[in-house]
Amino acid sequence: MKEELLQQIWLHKKIPSHYLTGSKGETIHIINFGNLNTNSGPDFLNAQIRIDGQLWAGNVEIHVKASDWYLHRHQKDDHYKNVILHVVWENDKDVSHSKNFNIPTLILEDYFDDKLLKNYHSLLHAEEKFINCYSDVNEINEFDFNNWIERMFFERLESKVDSITRSLERTRYDWEAVLFEQVAKVFGTKVNGHFFHQVSRSFDFKILKKNFHDLEMLEALLFGQSNLLNEELDDAYYLKLQSNYQFLTRKYKLKNVSELKPKFFRLRPYNFPTIRLSQLANLYHEKGLLFSKIIDANKSEEYLELFDVSTSDYWNTHYTFKSSSSQREKSISKAFIELILINAVVPVKFAYGKYKGHNNQSKLTDLMSSLGLEKIKIINQFYLLRPFSKNALFSQGLLQLKSNYCDQNKCLDCAIGHKILFN
């Protein structure tokens, strides 16, 4: 038995409120179960309970064992002096306040639905390793399922706001600079995302802004800060970037974040850091400042046009500096633009809406619903258990559900788990 389950039973009033009997034979009638306390102190506040005909107003504390009262030293804590009812699963000890007032005790086991307990053990001890509710999730009605996944999507966005806020504080609320950091991280893909993010923070964004007009300077800045211009190569373009970077280093006193280089291993050529850095440089060369444009845009078509850029000419015949390839323009694909929207644009727009006090959730929901479902193994596994709308809102919501609830056995905090347990 878990204390969290007992709290949920009380919270959702899964026991009768009338005709209850305390451990000493008291008659108990619950007028108000109280409000869940998410801070320190008793589990439920402001309850109203009639005990042997006397109406009491106060707090309720819940434990698996009654003796946990003393184990947690509540008898010494003034926060618990207004507890009017002790709700337990196992009554192994009488409890009292420091003033020796015996606290009435209600034993939940006497009123417990065996089916609920079986459902709980079945859910938390499922043999299937993907998610605990693998055999029941398809039984949840579509309305409840969709609402919960949308909530998971916004919970995921909320978790990203914290890091964006820290970046804003560091840049003195330069939204353009923060957007650049988020976009650069996406351009690094899963393999080099953290490295690209470090590179984007290794110089003042004003340096990038001052060189928008010169694509070679932008490439020199990004390639140089990524430690990709440190070798001796007999390549005219490489040597030109190297010379430009030396100029930028002297002018702006640039420093590299580390001696590390981005990874190429096991990446498809289109995702090579050289290609992605050139595309990133060309994005800012062709489009300039992006922040006001993403704030004004709403439809996916507007974003597809905004991020529709390719590499500089040199990379049409190269994937690396050391070897040439057949002629091919390397534009940013629609699928990659959608990744930028999902992982950079939408989080920044959401953070900006919160900062300005504007509710933009409906517009972001519409945008995410217009983007394709992410091709991730976890999402495919969910789809095998129950079909759902194939869009980015669902893939992001399901990723949040899997990592923050399913993987941590937080079924009691999950609306799907609640439906399975308590309905």
pLDDT in tens, 319-332: 999 999 999 999 99
Q: Which H or E run contains 360?
A: none
- The label of the residue with tokens 């050391």 reads 322
Residues in Cβ contact with 122 at an 8 Å cutoff, skipping those fewer than 6 apart: none
- Give the pLDDT score at 99: 66
Q: Which residues of the chain have pLDDT under 70?
A: 98-100, 126-128
Query: pLDDT tens digits, residue range 100-136?
Result: 678 999 998 888 777 777 777 777 776 667 898 888 8
Task: Give the predicted TM-score (pTM) of the model.
Answer: 0.84
CA distance 33 to 28: 12
Q: Are 238 and 291 contacting, i.e. CB atoms less than 8 angstroms apart?
A: no
- Cα separation, 326 vs 2, in Å, equals 63
- What values do phi and psi take at 102, rounded to 5? -65, 130
- Burial class (CB within 10 angstroms; exposed 0-12, middle 13-18, buried 19+) of 354: middle
CA distances from 5 to 12, 181, 301, 370 (A): 11, 42, 47, 38
pLDDT, position 129: 73
Q: Is the dihedral of CA 77, 82, 87, 92 positive or negative?
A: positive
- The pLDDT assigned to 136 comes to 86
Q: Degrees (nearest 5) of the Cα angle 161, 39, 75?
A: 160
Torsion over CA: 413, 415, 419, 422 (sign)? positive
Closest Cα to residue 121, out of 416, 415, 421, 405?
421
Residues pairing with 58 in the sheet: 47
| Cβ contacts of 274 within 8 Å, gap of 6 or more | 223, 228, 315, 318, 319, 320, 321
Question: And the tokens for 113?
Answer: 């639905």
